[in-house]
Amino acid sequence: MTIHLRPDGNVRFIHDYLNKDPIAETGVWKESRDKTATITLTGLDDGRRYNKPDVITFKLVGDHLVTVKYDYDIHGYRGLRLKRITRPRPYRAVTQ
């Protein structure tokens, strides 16, 4: 699973099971004063919308996003623990 939290408040949550095409969910996210991030997934990347949004609240613990509030029926009782990965800065060619 990969979560892309974009600066404009949009989110993509990608589930890649490696045996078929990845599933990409979309929605919005916001950071709260208590240093949690709440994502609200509203549908799939292909335009289909959910009848009820999937709301997940994460807290940054070290370099992991850990669920603190979520739907147990969707994500299980163990929740999610995702390692933070930042993209490397793009290589800039230097010419002389």
Read off the pTM. Answer: 0.80
- Residue 47 belongs to a domain: yes
What is the extent of the structural domain holding 39? 2-83
- Residue 88 belongs to a domain: no
- Is-contact 30 23, C-beta < 8 A? no
pLDDT in tens, 49-61: 999 999 999 998 8
- Residue 34 belongs to a domain: yes
- Residue 95 belongs to a domain: no
- State the total domains in the chain: 1
Q: What is the bridge-based pairing of β-strands 64-69 and 49-61?
A: antiparallel
- Is-contact 31 19, C-beta < 8 A? no
- Residue 91 belongs to a domain: no
pLDDT in tens, 26-35: 999 999 988 8
